Amino acid sequence: MTRMPALSLAAVPGRRNATIELAKEIEKRGFTGIYGPSLGDSLALCEALAFATKEITFGTSIMPIYFRQVVDYAQTVSFIHEVSGGRFRFGVGVSHAPALRSRGISAGKPLTDIRQFVEDLKAVPRAGELPPIVIATLRKKMIALSEEIANGMVFANGARSHMKASLSVVSDATRASDDFFIGDMIPTCISDDIEAAKAVNRKTLTSYAMLPNYRNYWKEAGYVEEMEGIEAAIAAGEHDKVPHFLTDRWLADTTLFGPATRVRDELEAWFDAGIKTPILVPSSANGGQMVAFEEMLAIF
């Protein structure tokens, strides 16, 4: 039997009530979690999920640490943790330069800032019991920090072939612990038309390929030629050429695509690579978010 993944869910304007109803269906179908990306207000979504669902685990993946004051975060996440009966995980990260610039925010050093944020969060008085903290990770220093100060890690667009090397900096006991979260957000497009599905995932990941921190990670994972090609295209102002360097080999290592059988088989390989909670991020070659979820629910 296929091991069940978690799903990524965002409540976009105009579809928020429909999203809550979808979350109830996701729970009923036996998925292992619901995780809200930084798109929209994932903490508001999680607060709603605390009341709309009964058993499923849920969380943020991620909330950028710079968007609110630490005291505000502590009060909110403690509330969600308490009223949900401990089903909530607080995933945090430093976000990306474009997102921060759009808000007039200047980031510091990621490792230093994450460490300080977690320390400050735990020190907020009279907030109540805090939920498990999960840190957004890509490279080994942040992965090691997640074991040191948090209760888990979550990748976004990680390379499956590189997971063994990435997770080697975490102790065997921690990796084996049911209390330590290891997740990865995986762009997923289900379609019998494999080329169409690949095109959808390429479009999803093109914006990530523009970010230096992701390119550096993918170089570490063995995709040096591809990432250097992207950097040359960016330097030449030829942004339209970036998807050309998102090769089929790279795409198969970072995303899921194709017919139902292929997606389920490749999902099993993610579990085997050490990702305890694959978080599938559905897109569709045939429509929008709700169509993508219909296709996702159908194959499980």
For residue 1, pLDDT over 70 is answered with: no
Alpha carbons 81 and 49: distance in angstroms, whole number: 11
- Assign domain 6-187+272-299 to its CATH superfamily: Luciferase-like domain (3.20.20.30)
Alpha carbons 161 and 273: distance in angstroms, whole number: 8
The alpha carbon torsion through 186, 193, 210, 277 (nearest 10 deg) reads 0
- What's the whole-number mean pLDDT along residues 88-107? 86
Determine what percent of the chain is predicted with pLDDT higher than 90: 91
For residue 280, pLDDT over 80 is answered with: yes
Q: In which element (H, E) is residue 190 found?
A: strand 181-190
The pLDDT tens digits of the residues spanning 210-251 come to: 999 999 999 999 999 999 999 999 999 999 999 999 999 999
For residue 100, pLDDT over 80 is answered with: no
- CB under 8 Å to 208, separation ≥6 — which residues? 156, 157, 214
H-assigned helices in the chain:
16-28, 42-52, 70-83, 97-101, 110-123, 140-149, 163-167, 172-176, 194-209, 212-220, 224-235, 248-254, 260-272, 289-299
Determine what percent of the chain is predicted with pLDDT higher than 70: 100
Whole-number pLDDT of residue 207: 93
Q: pTM for the whole thing?
A: 0.96
Q: Which amino acid is at 287?
A: G
Q: Which amino acid is at 187?
A: P
Rg of the Cα atoms in the chain: 19
The pLDDT tens digits of the residues spanning 161-213 come to: 999 999 999 999 999 999 999 999 999 999 999 999 999 999 999 999 999 99
The pLDDT tens digits of the residues spanning 113-153 come to: 999 999 999 999 999 999 999 999 999 999 999 999 999 99
Q: Say if residue 62 is preceded by a cis peptide, omega within 30 of 0.
A: yes
- CB under 8 Å to 275, separation ≥6 — which residues? 155, 158, 160, 163, 182, 183, 184
- Rounded to 5 degrees, φ, ψ at 97 are -55, -45
Q: How confident is the model at residue 105 (pLDDT cuts 50, 70, 90)?
A: confident
